[in-house]
Amino acid sequence: MYCNSITLTDFRNIRGASVSFDEGVNVLYGNNAQGKTNFLEGIYYAAIGKSFRGQHAPEVIAFGSEGAQLSLDYTAGGRRQNITMRLFQNRARAVEKNKVRVTRMSELVGSFRAVLFCPEHLSLIKGGPAERRQFLDIAVSASEPVYLSTLQRYGQILKQRNALIRRAKEEPEIFRSTVDVWSAQLAKEAAYIARSRARYVKRAEKFVKECFADMTGEAETPTLLYLGCDKTGGDYEDVSHTEKVLYQQLSTAHEREIGAGATLWGTHKDDIDVELNGHSARLFASQGQQRSLALALKLAEGEICREDCGEYPVFLFDDVLSELDRRRREYLLKKMNGKQVIMTSCEAVDHFNGKILYVENGTIREM
C-alpha cells in the first residue's frame, strides 16, 4: 500500500498544497511550527477519519475559512484509489471514496491503512490504561471494520447508562426499572469488543517478541496480556461467558456506581498488561526498555496489517527519530527497508536516503 499524493486546502496553516511521495522514504524537513505535522495529520485523517491530535473536525480548519478539504490518492492491491473529505464549521463532513459518498466511517476505515508513530506513543508503556485502549481501538478498527461500529454503539450505551446513574437519587424508580436493560445492552457490546481486543493482543505479542529478540539478541522477553472485565487475562473467546460475567458485575453493585456517579465495569476500563522478563514493564522497565516496547508495538501493528491485507501499511513518523537513541533509530530505519515511510524531521537530512521535502509556512517543495 502506498500514499501517492495528498492535496490539502485550508487545513490548519496549509492554504493550498499538493505533494507526491516516493514508495520508499520521504522526509518532510523544516523548522518547528511550519506545518510538517499538518501534512501527516491530513494523511492519517484519511485513514481513521479523525485527527490524531484529538481535536474535533472544525479545529483543523484554517482561521477565517468556512471549511477544509483533503484529497488522498493511494494504491492498494495494485489499484489506484482516492479518499476525499470536506470538513465544515457548522455541519457534518462530506466523505467520498472513489467519488462515491460514504455515510458511515465504518465503511471507510481500513480502506487506506497507515501506522502512526509519534513522540506521544513512547508513553504507551508507562502511561495510563486509556492510552493503551486508544492504541488497541485504532489498530483493531483498521483490521476489523465492524469493530468500529460496535465501539460506537458501546460508547452511546455507556453515555446513556452513566446519565441514568447520575439521576438515580432524584429518579430512583426510573433507575430501578431501566438500569438492567442498559446493563444487558452494554454487556453484549462489551463481550464482542473484549474478544476482538484479546485476539489482537495475542497476535501482537508474537511480533513484539520477535522484534525484541532482534533488538536485544534474545536477552529480554516481553509478554502481553489483555486485561478485560475480570482483570485476570482470561479467555475472551466465549462471548456469551464474557457477557454473563460483565452483566453480573453491572447488576450487583448499583450503590457503588451511584456513589461514583459512573459505570465502574466494562471495556472502557480494560488494559494491556505488558511485562518484561516477568516483571511489570510500566513499573520496573527502564525508559529505554519502555521505548523499545512502544516501538515494538507500533512495528507489530504494521505486521498485523500486512497479514490481514497482504501488504504493508504506510508508516508515518512524526519527529520520532529525534526521541530515539542511535541504536533504536538505526533499528527502526532498518526495519523500514522496502516499506513506504513518510516522516517529519527538524534535523539535518543529508543522512537520509530518500525524497526530501522542505516545509515552510504551510508550503512544501522538493529539495
Q: Are residues 158 and 55 in the same domain?
A: no
Residues with Cβ within 8 Å of residue 212, at least 6 apart in sequence: 220, 221, 222, 292, 293, 296
Q: Does residue 120 lie within any of the structural domains?
A: no
Number of domains in the chain: 2
Which range of 100-109, 120-129, 165-174, 318-327 scores highest in mean pLDDT? It is 165-174
Same domain, 155 and 67: no
Whether residue 329 is predicted with pLDDT greater than 90 in this model: the reply is no
- The one-letter amino acid at 228: G
35: alpha, beta or left, given left = phi > 0 and alpha = psi -120 to 50?
Answer: left
- Integer Cα distance of 46 and 110 in angstroms: 10
The reply to whether 271 and 295 lie within a common domain is yes
CATH code of the domain covering residue 365? 3.40.50.300
Q: Which residue range(s) make up the domain with 261?
A: 125-309
pLDDT score recorded for residue 204: 97
Same domain for 272 and 189: yes
User: pLDDT tens for residues 230-261?
Assistant: 666 677 999 999 999 999 999 998 999 999 99
Domain boundary (309, 325, 353) is at 309
The crossing angle, in degrees rounded to 10, of helices 172-216 and 326-335 is 90
Q: Is the same domain home to 269 and 197?
A: yes
Is residue 346 over pLDDT 90? no
259 and 330 belong to one structural domain = no
**Boundary-marking domain end, from 291, 309, 327:** 309
- pLDDT of 351: 67
The pLDDT score that the predictor gives to residue 11 is 95
Pair 130, 278 in one domain:
yes
Mean pLDDT for the chain overall: 92
Q: What's the confidence (pLDDT) of residue 163?
A: 97
Which tens digits make up the pLDDT trace of 261-283?
A: 999 999 999 999 999 999 999 99
Q: Is the pLDDT of residue 12 over 90?
A: yes
Range from 84-93, 191-200, 232-241 that averages highest in pLDDT: 191-200
Residue 164 and residue 93 in one domain: no
Do 8 and 143 share a domain, yes or no?
no
Give me the pLDDT at residue 350, please: 62
Question: Which domain-ending residue is among 309, 327, 345?
Answer: 309
Q: What are phi and psi of 276, to 5 degrees?
A: -130, 120
Is 67 within the bounds of a domain? Answer: yes
In a domain, 119, yes or no: no
How far apart CA 139 and CA 128 sit, in angstroms, is 18
Position 348 scores a pLDDT of 65
- Quote the pLDDT of residue 231: 67
95, exposed or middle or buried, with CB in 10 Å at 0-12, 13-18, 19+?
buried
Instruction: Give the percent of the chain with pLDDT over 70.
Output: 97
Instruction: Supply the CATH number for residue 139's domain.
Output: 1.20.1050.90
- pLDDT tens track for 65-87: 999 999 999 999 999 999 999 99
- Please check whether residues 190 and 281 belong to one and the same domain: yes
Residue 349 has pLDDT above 70, yes or no: no
pTM, entire model: 0.92
Cα–Cα distance for residue pair 321/326, rounded to 1 Å: 9
Specify if 118 maps to a domain. Answer: no
Greater confidence (347 vs 165) lies with: 165
Q: 99 and 171 share a domain?
A: no
Instruction: Give 34-61 pLDDT, tens digit per residue.
Output: 999 999 999 999 999 888 886 667 789 9
Regarding whether 251 and 157 lie in a shared domain, the answer is: yes
pLDDT at 2 over 80: yes
The arithmetic mean of pLDDT across residues 99-120, rounded, is: 91
